[in-house]
Amino acid sequence: MGMKERQYLLNGMYTDMVSFSPHDKDVAMSLLTKVGEGVSGDDARVMSFDTLYALLSDEEKKIIERIIATDPTVYGFRGQCFGIAPVPDDLVALVGQEYCICGIKKLLQTQYLPAHAHQAYLRMNDAMDAGIGRRVLVESGYRSPAYQAIVFLRYLAEHTYRIEEALERIAIPGYSEHGYPNKQGMDFRVRETMFDNDDRPVPFGNTIEYAWLLEHANDFHLHLSYPEGNPYGIIPEPWHWRYEGGLI
């Protein structure tokens, strides 16, 4: 069975993400421009498909549907499929998280967590503070599936539509713990780093915060999702933890 037939069977519809025609690329660009102008930065992270589709033409919606219908395992992706859940209605905004690079204070963009995951994060952070006098920030929390689709498409557009490369770096909707409130993924970062370049943060795996998390985070139902040698073929991500404890 060829790859295309396999995709047809898996998805119930024919998708060939590899070949974006010149016209498709024009549609994708107009879509990305509309979203950039129509949804403000902080809100984009939590937008629903309804909000997204209200901005788009039918042709532009089809581009998003092609992304959703893609089966990434066809391209060698071995991660988990969580399915597409609705945007939770109990998201808590983490506004004004302050970090410090070489003594210069900066603010993270607003992040969001579902209430139960947020509670666990706060309790864990209080315990870390009591134990070692440190706290971690949430660099990335909840990201809606619609937002994930836009991030994925933007990456494609900026990298000449190389799907395999995009799939190695950005999950498509339904395949990210950041968009799955039942196992809410969150990326931590330390509050102070010594580099003045954002692209070179202190390797999180070398921090005392990480050492503390390894020992205590499970007490707060926080689990390391991608340790070294994980079965999903995902590079080790010491900063990425998931809350898996249901409602508390």
Of the residues 101, 187, 205, 218, which one makes contact with Zn ion according to CB under 5 A: 187
Going by C-alpha positions, the residue among 177, 182, 174 that lies closest to residue 149 is 174
Measured over the CA atoms of residue 243, residue 186, residue 43 and residue 155, the dihedral's sign is: negative
Q: Judged by CB, which is closer to Zn ion: 60, or 177?
A: 177
143 part of the interface to Zn ion, by CB under 5 A: no
Instruction: Please give the size of the binding site for Zn ion, defined by CB under 5 A.
Output: 3
- Residue 205 contacts Zn ion per CB under 5 A: no
DSSP state of 226: S
**Closer of 17 and 138 to Zn ion (Cβ):** 138
Q: Which of residues 118 and 240 has its CB atom nearest to Zn ion in the complex?
A: 240
Select 66 or 143, whichever has its Cβ closest to Zn ion: 143
CB of 178 to Zn ion, least distance (A): 6
Of 10-18, 41-49, 153-161, 183-191, the segment contacting Zn ion by CB under 5 A is: 183-191
Task: Please tell me whether residue 168 binds Zn ion under the rule CB under 5 A.
Answer: no
Answer yes or no whether residue 170 interacts with Zn ion by CB under 5 A: no
Token pair 């042709």: residue: 59
Pairing of strands 136-140, 184-190: antiparallel
Nearest of 172, 187, 186 to residue 82 by alpha carbon: 172
C-beta pairs of 225-233 under 8 Å, 24+ apart in sequence: 225/177, 225/185, 231/78, 232/78, 232/79, 232/80, 233/76, 233/77, 233/78, 233/79
- Mark residues 208-247: x for contact with Zn ion by CB under 5 A, - for none: --------------------------------x-------
Which residue lies nearer to Zn ion by CB, 56 or 87?
A: 87
* Comparison of 79 and 185: residue with beta carbon closer to Zn ion: 185
* Amino acid (1-letter code) at residue 15: T
Query: Rounded to an integer, what distance in angstroms lies between the CA atom of residue 50 and that of residue 29?
Result: 20
**CB under 8 Å to 26, separation ≥6 — which residues?**
none
Under the binding rule (CB under 5 A), the answer on residue 24 touching Zn ion is no
Check binding of 45 to Zn ion (CB under 5 A). no
Binding region for Zn ion (CB under 5 A): 185, 187, 240
